[in-house]
Amino acid sequence: MTTERDYDKLLTVALDKAMPYDWSIGLHGSMFFQEIRENQRFVGIRCPQCKKVYVPPRRVCGPCYTEMDELVPLSDTGTLRAFSVVNYPFIDPNTGGQRPVPYTYGYIQMDGADNIFSHIINETDVSKIEVGMRLKAVFKPKEEMQGHITDIIHFDIIS
């Protein structure tokens, strides 16, 4: 599609077709979503070398470059380590549509994990959110779960 600007003769070319992709979640990631669906519970993985517990579970500990296979059950609660209330419009490259704003993007330290899990917090009033608050995951009904990050709808502030 080529359009002519009314103020001069300079032209712009735009493409309007989406490019679909499929991504493998991997064995450990798939087990994470199975655990969410079956037990509404998070699961992490422990590095045999540095003993860190990672969520989501993945095959290799990056800093140690070591294969991991010890799955660790976690709860569905955690602590807010950092957050931001996103307030500007932008196109979501996954959907091609505008992401609904405002929404709160948070880094959550799940109980029993050493790293941080990123997700959405169900509160956009900054006067009601504080680093250090306790959070609990809210899941979709089991029959609606698809093995996708949106099986966790968001996190609620519980204290």
Using CB under 8 A as the criterion, which residues of the chain lie in contact with other proteins when the complex forms? Answer: 5, 8, 10, 12, 15, 21, 23, 25, 29, 54-56, 58, 62, 81-88, 90-94, 99, 103, 105-107, 115-120, 126, 130-132, 149-150
Tokens standing for residue 90: 């932008």
DSSP-derived secondary structure for 83-142 = EEEE-S--B-TTTSSBPPSSEEEEEEEETT-SS-EEEEES---GGG--TT-EEEEEEPPG
For residue 85, which amino acid is it?
V
CA dist 87 → 83, 104, 105, 131 (Å): 13, 9, 11, 19
Question: Which segments within 37-97 are labelled E, that is strand?
Answer: 43-46, 53-54, 60-61, 66-67, 70-73, 77-86
